[in-house]
Structure 1
Amino acid sequence: MKNQFSLNLSSVPKELKLIIEIIKIEEEKGIQEISEDLLENINWEEFLQLAMHHRVYSLLYSRMNKTSKIPSEVVQSLNRKYQKNIFKMLSLSGEMEQICRIFGESQIKSLVLKGPVLAADLYGDLSLRTSRDLDILIPFKDLSKADQVLTNLGYEKEELQTLFNDWKWKDHHISYYHPKKQMHIEIHWKMHPGASKEPDFKELWARKRTCTHFSHSVYFLGREDLFLFLALHGARHGWSRLRWLIDIHQLMKQNLNWDEIFALSKKYKSTQVEEQALILSSQLLNSYLPKTVKVRSWKLAQSAIFYYERMINLHNGDPLPLKLERYHMMYLMSLKSLSSKFLFIISFLFPTYKDKETLKLPRTFYFLYFPLRPVLVTVRKITSLK
């Protein structure tokens, strides 16, 4: 379908544009079609930093390991990271199979959301996608059983800090870490945080697929559910990792039922987010654009380019510079429907454990955290700037 507009990519670093162009070309063709102009005046150190930041170094290496156009030291650096990722993905795969098998034996239904199943399903090769941890969705009622299974396997739980036992709706996963294996696992009872509207586990389970790339069958999301999950996940993080957009591009190569996708996105009030993903994938990676999308969705897509114009790490736990934080908050609000914005404001006004750390009150007076929350948030902002 013909694009209505074009995104403004003029401020995207030349190094990232080169990475995108290399990834777009089929592996067997090498990168002979890359223009000489795009290869001129490349800062190869920044090129490598961007490849790491966007978690695309393995896929990038697979596209460029047979060409002489890239400096040999750059290829060698990517090769080292590529080899290391192979062992990481094999390790994650083995752990994923073991946990899913034991969950099944314990009568815990599980759906793997990301990790090795995406590498196998979307890329056909574990080595071509990177993953830091495992994300597994289970029914809420089985959290205690899953906790016991993981504890018996040597995992340590990261306790959720909460004032009013509000974690059930404000959070969406519990993190576990195995100190000996150095393995991270996130056990989800929802796909997304906050009071978001999404399919319940029974719906997702009814539409599940079985990944047969491993010795033990692993269940994961149906194609249409996976598209919605990846679109919402990527949008929530500003598409600040190119890997998430490439996942969308790879998934769109499969036989998706677009009528079902658009029906689900309408039902769960996320149409503009799905359209944003479609536009970004179409404009940056030449994906098929299956529909005419609204002007607002084009604006949302353009607002995400902000995250490609600079390296913004939203995942290391460090506070963002005030200017970036304000932009990100406004961006997140722009993604939401009217009802979602209302729920978001309500959840923001709900006290958190950080408020207790800022001002310690006796439990009898915890109710005061509600009117004090705006003040306490402001105090933390001012303190972080010092």
Structure 2
Amino acid sequence: MDNMLNLDRIPKELKLILELLKEGNEQYLQKHSQVLCRDIDWNLFIKLTLHHRVYPLINFKIKMLDGEIVPTHVVQFLHQQYKRNTFQMLRLSAEMEQVSRLFSKQQIPTLFLKGPVLAQDLYGDISLRTSSDLDFLIPIQHLEKAEKLLLNLGYEKYDYIQTVLNDWQWRHHHVTYIHSNKEMKLEIHWRLHPGPGKEPSFDELWKRKTRSSITSYPVYLLGTEDLFQFLVSHGARHGWSRLRWLIDIQQIMKKKIDWARLYILFKAYHNPYVGGQAIILASHLLNMRVEEEMKPLLISRRPKELAQEAVFYLETMVNLHDDSVPAYVSRYHSRHLFSLMSAQQKIFFIISFLYPYPEDAETLPLPTKLHFLYFPLRPFLWAWRKSRKDVLRRGAE
């Protein structure tokens, strides 16, 4: 399979990180340490390990290089960050067990999506993956009960969602809670991904769940095929702008996966080309072997084209959650997100523009009982806002 990607514009510091993270690359690293580390900006190297959230792995991998090449302060910094992350993951593990126990007693089925359970499942060691919060999925009908439980634990809701006609249920997919004393953040999901789009029901995911071995009290995560699809869709949605998400794919590809079932899941709920994109990125960037069973996800050139588009996010430190994302990055990302969609997803996406937005209620406030009027009024309200923006833009110019 021709999966060569153009990586010419990736900084050499990130190329060194990729060499360190590649599968089965030990002998190559030992033999070519001098060449790989020539003219490396070690401060940028450190910044990239932090940005891509891969410093726990790099802490171990960098020892494969010639010890005299890597500056002492780099080795010490990585080790300090590794220890800090280990403590953080232990704190998250304790909080996860508490939440799981509490929700279980209140008969709220809970599937943890990331955090310590993912680190243990994919890496076999919670210290080798970073996580800043706990993400978990529950049935939407239990949201109110779950919120009361978290408020009783001292959490506060970070209520940033604006909604009209209950569009939050499908346009959004999680809500955030913060415990200021514990410095802990939880995200309760009622969907795996933001809408619009089809997803497996919670009951389907629950039937295929896996029990984690990380705690004595039962804690559950997605089954392997559902987890692969979730990680692929999440990473693709963020442009694979952090290597940590691609390392997750590298790790899960080592597990026993029912690729035939996985292909069916992609056909039903996502674009199979996105699965192919992840496999090509993991293969080319991280030396993962492409097995015959994976080939249905690679049946055309489209996965490679999507993989090449994702290289854009590795050419600089793109943080899509930053409010100051450059305009050219935002435009590129919008186009890339649309290109990731299947034909069905694109139809859902286009149709969703006809559903009222909270901005419509801000433009023309109406009593709640008259909110249904936003459906016929939406085109006119959109045109009004656009005309006002154009006027302001021309005035600024």
TM-score by length of 2: 0.90
Match of 1:329 in 2: 334
Q: Please, which runs of 5 or more residues in structure 2 have no aligned partner?
A: none
Amino acid at match of 1:260: R
Aligned counterpart, 1:372: 381
Residue 91 of structure 2 is matched in structure 1 by 91
2:25 and 2:119 mapped to 1: Cα distance?
A: 16
- Describe the SS at the equivalent of 2:318: coil
Q: What displacement does 1:362 show?
A: 4.7
* Structure 1 counterpart of 2:9, one-letter code: S
1:315 maps to 2:350: no
> Equivalent residue for 2:266?
265
Aligned with residue 341 of structure 1, among 341, 346, 371: 346
In structure 1, the residue corresponding to 2:313 is in which secondary structure?
A: coil
Distance of aligned partners of 1:375 and 1:77 in 2 relative to their CA distance in 1, 3 Å threshold: farther
Contact 1:22 1:34 in 2 (8 A): no
- Does residue 254 of structure 1 match 2:255? yes
Distance 1:362 1:269, change over 3 A: closer
The residue type equivalent to 1:32 in the other structure is: Q
Indicate how the Cα distance of structure 1 residues 76 and 102 shifts in structure 2: closer, same or farther if over 3 A, else same.
Answer: same
Q: What percentage of aligned pairs have identical amino acids?
A: 48
Change in 2 beyond 3 A, CA 1:257/1:376 = same
In structure 2, do the counterparts of structure 1 residues 19 and 351 end up closer, same or farther at CA, with 3 Å as the change threshold?
Answer: same
Tell me, in whole angstroms, the C-alpha distance in 2 between the residues paired with 1:300 and 1:25. 22
Aligned length: 381
User: Counterpart in 1 of 2:309?
Assistant: 303
CA distance in 2, matches of 1:34, 1:312: 29
Contact map agreement 1:171 1:194 (CA 8 A) in 2: yes
For residues 94-123 of structure 1, the C-alpha deviation after alignment (integer angstroms, 9 at most, x for no partner) is 101100111000000000001101111111
Counterpart in 1 of 2:163?
162
Q: Choose 209-218 or 342-351, whichever is displaced more.
A: 342-351
Note closer, same or farther for the CA distance 1:108–1:46 as it changes in structure 2 (3 Å cut). same
Q: Please report the TM-score for the alignment, with normalisation by the length of structure 1.
A: 0.92
Residues 378, 226 of structure 1: alpha-carbon distance in 2 compared, 3 angstrom cutoff: farther
Most deviating of 330-339 and 212-221: 212-221
Query: How far did residue 360 of structure 1 move?
Result: 6.2
Q: CA deviation at 1:286?
A: 1.0
Q: How does 1:50-129 map onto structure 2 within 5 Å?
A: 50-65=48-63, 67=65, 68=67, 69-129=69-129
Instruction: Tell me, in whole angstroms, the C-alpha distance in 1 between the residues paired with 2:389 and 2:127.
Output: 42
- Does the CA contact (< 8 Å) of 2:26 and 2:64 recur in 1? no
Can you give the 5+ residue segments of structure 1 that lack an aligned partner in the other structure?
none
Residues 212-238 of structure 1: per-residue CA shift (max 9 Å, x gap): 122222100111110000000000000
Alpha-carbon separation, structure 2, partners of 1:373 and 1:351: 10
Q: Partners of 2:386 and 2:122 in 1: how far apart?
A: 41
For each residue in 1:113-163, what CA deviation from the matched residue of structure 2 results, as whole angstroms up to 9, or x when unmatched?
A: 011011111111111100011110011111111111111111111222212
Q: 2: distance between equivalents of 1:194 and 1:259?
A: 26
